[in-house]
Amino acid sequence: GGFKVGNLDEMQRMRLGALFREMRRRVLERTGGGPGCGAMFGNVTAIDRSIWGVIMYDSMMLAQAQMAAAGFAEVADGEAILRRMKAAGVAPSLLTYNRMLELVEGAAKHGRAGLVDSEAVLRAMTTAGFTPDRCTFIRLLTITANTANADSATDPPAAGARGDAHVEHTRWLRAWMREAGIPVDLPAGKLALRTVVGAARVGRAAYADADEVLDEMVG
């Protein structure tokens, strides 16, 4: 039930080591750095059963997300962390799920993840009782944009066909944002436009789709 680190170069190893040193520093800092703290941190079972388990697993998820962005990790690596958390009795937090989405985002950039993966994380998040926040939506929009552009590099032109799953997905996400009272601001709008551009490359989107996004940003 562990997770793999992959074939890391020296820079990736240094970053991963620095991340875990920072994680350990935060645990020591929050517990006062007493003599029992080091023992607690060194005992994986004890950590898994405490609040610090969440810190540890969230940091592990962040490390995997960073490696996914560099092309060294995949969605399965994040899923392995979630399984380990469940086995240890540690409940994922909203931050955990957002970092899992960050991992999907990185994998999607390399064509190793897509909308199916982001929707699976979203279902798990909402089933656990969490409400998506602005960070969640930005991650989802980024995944959609990354997927649209990765697909456009391999899909043949659609010869003028209209309608695209990625564009429809961003439309659905933007509607959900508005219902939640989260504005479609400049960063969100730019991501939606990136999706339209990716779809337009293969003839599955047009100016009207971009104009719709611009109207929402202005309104």
Tally DSSP H helices, then E strands, for the chain: 11, 0
The answer, yes or no, to whether residue 120 has pLDDT greater than 60, is yes
Predicted TM-score (pTM) of the model is 0.74
The answer, yes or no, to whether residue 90 has pLDDT greater than 90, is no
Specify the higher pLDDT residue, 50 or 15: 15
- Over residues 30-53, mean pLDDT: 49
The pLDDT of residue 3 is: 42
The answer, yes or no, to whether residue 5 has pLDDT greater than 50, is no
- Over residues 51-76, mean pLDDT: 87
Q: Which residue is it, tokens 């989802």?
A: 140
The CA distance from 95 to 99, in Å, is 6
Supply the mean pLDDT for the chain: 81
The pLDDT of residue 164 is: 85
The answer, yes or no, to whether residue 160 has pLDDT greater than 60, is no
Q: Could you say which DSSP state residue 111 is in?
A: T
